[in-house]
Amino acid sequence: MDNAIPEDEQDDVTYLVNVARDAFGHLVQGLSVCDENLDLVFFNDRFRALLDFPTELVHVGTNVAELFRYNAKRGEYGEGDIEQQVSERVALAKQFTPHSFQRERPDGTVIQIDGSPMSSGGFVTTYTDITEKVRYEAFLKSIIEASPAGFGISRHSDGKISFLNTRLAEMYGMPVREMIGFSARNLYANQEDRDKILKEVQAHKKVSNSEIMFKRKNGDEFAALISLYPTTYQNEPSFFSWIYDISNLKEAQSIQAELERELNQAQKLEAIGQLAGGIAHEINTPSQYVWDNLKFLHEAQRDLRDLLGDCLSLVERVNPDSALKSACDQIREKSESIDLDYLLSEVPAAINQSITGISDISRIVLAMKEFSHPGEGSKSIIDINHMLENTLTISRSQWKDVATVNTAFDPTLPHVSCQPGEMNQVFLNLLVNASHAIEEAKPHDGGKITIKTTQREDKIQIQISDNGAGIPGDLQDKIFEPFFTTKEVGKGTGQGLSIARNIVTKKHGGEIYFTSEPNKGTLFTIELPIHEIKEPA
């Protein structure tokens, strides 16, 4: 039987082959076809150019083993025995199974190689230059990896994470490898936030900067902003998410709010100080009038009493037969009716009490004036003993009904450089706290507050102790934290000791610490450097 192809059909085949060769020659991909013996039966110019094969090597009939050998000799497959590299690749090719892989050539070109077996035997293989694609992907990955936000891709079907950056893994406290395959649904701190995200996705097909709570591996919760968008990854419907940890921002906002509250409080205190200074000045002038008049009355009543005594003595010596007898009797009756003996006894006492009272008023006014120091923010040389005496005077209403105050001031205590208004605030806070602690404990032997000053080498030491309720052991580490208080609601803001520590340590270079025993009392110690603290430039 004659199997020859008729001449006219041969022309058609030749035409089709030429058309195919011309068409494949215009492909941006390389193309090669080999038969069941792994001999080349077709290829285009792009194949030879991409793989940089010499023209004399690549022709119909070239066995792929020769191509493998050429690549091995020029180091395309790395170091190793050339013939072993060739035989390994020939063995794989003879399996005639589909394959797809990327190969980076020594010049940096990255080629995607996809091979498909033919039913008649052999392979059709395409070669695609994906260098720019790989570089772009690497560029995107570097951006994603360097991002301060966490980035992740999770499958829509089960929520399992298929890609993430290091920041996201750090955010949750897990290695990257452990988070691959981990369900993103388990990262939410609570069901409510997860439901919130699902509702937003259903309504808008995406989520933009939604604030929710997430949970780290150790169970700690943290606030974050999440943006979530639909995508396809590895042929799976997925979501890619940007997650930005805002816990530090929240903390910064909290600190800012605290500072604003402190500033507001300071402004109020300054206003009160200015008002107190003004009131002190206004009270001081009439108080001085009263003081001067009382001193005058005190001296005048003494002289009048002496004169009155002489007059009464004269009345007693008048002759009963004298014409003055009637007048003297009237004087006796008048003195009895007004209880002259009582007046002579009590008027001096009343004047003395008034003098003592106006003296106390003057002392309080002076203490208030010195305590307020309106507008003073700079340091000055201060007598701490005198400052403590003023603070005791100002705070007397707080402790007078609950405690007695004992002082042990070192008379040789050196003066120190400090901001008077702020240190007054520290001492006042400690005294008020002590009186509240005593009021709470109600010690059976009476409340006692002791204030002691002394010098310790290059520092002065101020100690304020009480026999009040003390501080529970489990709370002592928190005493100086902002907004922490052991007092009942409405009796304290929890800022006093925090502000006191800031004033002593940061503004005066000193120390403040305490010892406390529940139901026995507390001792606060303040140490201030004797040398002048230089203001920061």
Q: Give the CATH number for residue 429.
A: 3.30.565.10
> Does residue 510 share a domain with residue 393?
yes
pLDDT at 33: 92
pLDDT (mean) for 345-362: 72
- The better pLDDT of the pair 432, 534 is held by 432
Domain-embedded: residue 102: yes
d(CA 170, CA 188): 16
Consecutive H or E run containing 118: none
Other C-beta atoms within 10 Å of 406: how many? 11
Answer yes or no: are the C-beta atoms of 393 and 364 closer than 8 Å.
Answer: yes
Q: pLDDT tens, 118-157?
A: 988 888 999 999 999 889 888 888 888 888 888 889 888 8
Domain-embedded: residue 141: no
Structural domain count of the chain:
4
Split at pLDDT 50, 70, 90, the class of 474 is: confident
Q: What is residue 506's DSSP assignment?
A: I
Domain-embedded: residue 134: no
pLDDT of 164 over the 70 cut: yes
> Does residue 227 share a domain with residue 339?
no
> Does residue 421 share a domain with residue 336?
no
d(CA 413, CA 416): 9
Q: pTM for the complete prediction?
A: 0.44
pLDDT at 537: 40
Domain boundary among 370, 403, 421: 370
Q: What CA–CA distances, in Å, run from 191 to 194, 195, 198, 217?
A: 5, 6, 11, 17
- The better pLDDT of the pair 200, 375 is held by 200
Strand partners, 228: 207, 241
Answer yes or no: are the C-beta atoms of 291 and 299 closer than 8 Å.
Answer: no
Domain-embedded: residue 136: no
Report the chain's terminal Cα–Cα distance, integer Å.
109
pLDDT at 533: 46
Domain-embedded: residue 523: yes
pLDDT at 272: 58
pLDDT at 1: 45
- The better pLDDT of the pair 237, 278 is held by 237
Which one, of 388, 451, 418, 373, lies nearest residue 535 by Cα? 418
pLDDT (mean) for 71-82: 90
Answer yes or no: are the C-beta atoms of 418 and 459 closer than 8 Å.
Answer: no
> Does residue 399 share a domain with residue 260?
no
Other C-beta atoms within 10 Å of 206: how many? 12
> Does residue 494 share a domain with residue 383?
yes
> Does residue 507 share a domain with residue 449?
yes
Split at pLDDT 50, 70, 90, the class of 475 is: confident
d(CA 197, CA 194): 5
DSSP states of 241-285:
EEEEE-HHHHHHHHHHHHHHHHHHHHHHHHHHHHHHHHHHHHHHH
Which one, of 367, 525, 504, 331, lies nearest residue 426 by Cα? 504
pLDDT (mean) for 222-231: 88
Domain-embedded: residue 329: yes
Domain-embedded: residue 124: yes
Q: pLDDT tens, 359-401?
A: 767 666 666 666 655 445 578 888 999 989 988 887 887 888 8
Domain boundary among 370, 403, 419: 370
Which one, of 38, 61, 58, lies nearest residue 47 by Cα? 58
> Does residue 278 share a domain with residue 204?
no
pLDDT of 346 over the 60 cut: yes
Q: pLDDT tens, 52-68?
A: 999 999 999 999 999 99
Domain-embedded: residue 534: no
Angle at 526 between CA 525 and CA 528, to 5 degrees: 150
- The better pLDDT of the pair 313, 274 is held by 313
Contacts of 357 (CB under 8 A, 6+ apart): none
Q: Per the structure block, which two tokens stand in for 53?
A: 């094969």
Q: What CA–CA distances, in Å, run from 502 to 71, 264, 378?
A: 73, 16, 16
> Does residue 313 share a domain with residue 214?
no
Q: pLDDT tens, 3-45?
A: 554 555 555 656 665 666 666 666 788 999 999 999 999 899 8
Looking at every residue in the chain, the average pLDDT score rounds to 81
pLDDT at 90: 92
> Does residue 394 share a domain with residue 331?
no
Domain boundary among 370, 393, 417: 370
> Does residue 515 share a domain with residue 380?
yes
> Does residue 513 share a domain with residue 429?
yes
pLDDT at 374: 42
pLDDT at 331: 72
pLDDT at 86: 92
> Does residue 306 share a domain with residue 355?
yes
Residue 160 is part of a domain; what is its CATH number? 3.30.450.20
Q: What is residue 414's DSSP assignment?
A: P
- Where is average pLDDT lowest: 5-9, 87-91, 250-254, 364-368? 5-9
pLDDT of 423 over the 90 cut: no
Which one, of 51, 80, 102, lies nearest residue 40 by Cα? 51
| Percentage of the chain modeled with pLDDT above 90 | 26
d(CA 495, CA 433): 12
Which one, of 439, 465, 440, 438, lies nearest residue 452 by Cα? 465
pLDDT (mean) for 450-466: 94
- Where is average pLDDT lowest: 82-86, 355-359, 481-485? 481-485
Q: State the residue range of the domain holding 315.
A: 251-370
